[in-house]
Amino acid sequence: MSTAPTQPSGITYAFAGVDTAAGDRAVELMKASVAATMTPAVVGGVGGFAGMVDVSELRSYRRPLLATSTDGVGTKVAIAQAVDVHDTIGQDLVGMVVDDIAVTGARPLLMTDYIACGHVVPERVADIVRGVAQACAQVRTPLLGGETAEHPGLMAPDEYDVAGAATGVVEADRMLGAERVRAGDVLVALAASGLHSNGYSLVRRVVEHAGWALDRHVPGLGRRLGEELLEPTRLYSALCLDLVDAIDPAGADPAALRVRAFSHVTGGGLAANLARVLPAGLVGDVDRASWTVPAVFDLVRTLGSVPWDDLESTLNLGVGMVVVVAPEAVDEVLRQSAAAGVPAWVLGSVHGAEGYRSRGRVVAGTKGVDGGAVDIHGSYRTV
């Protein structure tokens, strides 16, 4: 544990609460993890003012489009801080950022991260960055740079927050999205690993209201509550891009791609995020009974008496990504997902809005997108 510096004759940076030596130690501790993410395209090493990648290969693109995304992990960091486990939150960050790029069909080129904290504890910062780096390696993305900022007086000594940004590239005529979706397409769900990184303000409030400690063993979960709440976000980008390459390999007619779109289920829940990748005039028909809601979601519901509609509009309920795909490609999606260890199933289908009769809750116009709609109906199955 560090001790407060003795006041010198004049005010120094250290006395103001910023320990630059601790920052340097944190960099030394994380260097090996970061270096392991580097690819042959990376120019330079750790410690430069800016990270660089060689994009000479983009000269072979007919019309390369850069895709970019930035995000954090919300109040899930409060759980990490409470249980003093910091090496999983980095995977959540990568999932929130890189997977958003992959939904366009873009291959990630690089990622950067930012950690703000009240006081630099080198081992803690290194744990966070190690988690980011290990996840970047899984999704074949170099962690090209980052920043750790010490904010004494603004944040408590043990407080921190994390954010990240990533950039990727996709050939313009192979970009995925709502404009490719058509009636008759099939919705395939890729299972979530747990709560992922959204809705933790609700989850934390429910746990607080119930008076449950994070070290409480929960038989229905098979582990301590804190361990369940820190389960890292599943990473989908490598699987999604592999699906595109297998089903619609380079050279395929860009106008006839069978993988139409991906929907990353983050804040707002399944229906709201799926509606973002459907065009006006189409409806995604989703059957709630097509999967069993994992135990942690039902625990949140019962502990807090949370209405199903509110739960559905906040949490992923077990669906982390949706693949919108032509019917003839469904079997390949299911096969490759199983091979990658990701449970997948048919969630529903896409229909023309004209003449369609809703059977449940209709969601449209979310996230500022004026597009299609999702009709989510039936009853959830719980463990």
The string of DSSP letters for 184-240 reads: T-EEEEEE-SSSTTS-HHHHHHHHHHHT--TT-EETTTTEEHHHHHTPPPPP-HHHH
Share of the chain above pLDDT 70, in %: 90
Residue 88 DSSP class: S
- Mean of the per-residue pLDDT values of the chain: 92
Question: Per residue in 257-304, pLDDT tens?
Answer: 999 999 999 999 999 999 999 999 999 999 999 999 999 999 999 999
Is-contact 142 54, C-beta < 8 A? no
Q: What is the mean pLDDT of residues 141-169?
A: 93
The answer for residues whose C-beta is within 8 angstroms of residue 305's C-beta and 6 or more apart is none
The answer for residues whose C-beta is within 8 angstroms of residue 208's C-beta and 6 or more apart is none
The Cα-based distances of 175 to 244, 256, 276 in angstroms read 11, 12, 15
d(CA 291, CA 366): 24
Question: Per residue in 173-205, pLDDT tens?
Answer: 999 999 999 999 999 999 999 999 999 999 999
Q: Which tokens sit at 109?
A: 């080129």
Which of 268, 260, 247 lies closest to 350, judged by CA? 260
**Cα radius of gyration (the chain):** 22
Is-contact 330 188, C-beta < 8 A? yes
What pLDDT is recorded for position 314? Answer: 97
- The secondary structure element, H or E, covering residue 343 is none
Greatest alpha-carbon pair distance for the chain in Å reads 81
3 state SS of 39:
coil
Is-contact 91 134, C-beta < 8 A? yes
pLDDT for residue 82 is more than 80? yes
d(CA 371, CA 280): 4
What pLDDT is recorded for position 30? Answer: 61
What pLDDT is recorded for position 53? Answer: 87
What pLDDT is recorded for position 29? Answer: 60
Question: Per residue in 303-336, pLDDT tens?
Answer: 999 999 999 999 999 999 999 999 999 999 999 9
In angstroms, how far is CA 307 from the centroid of its own chain? 25
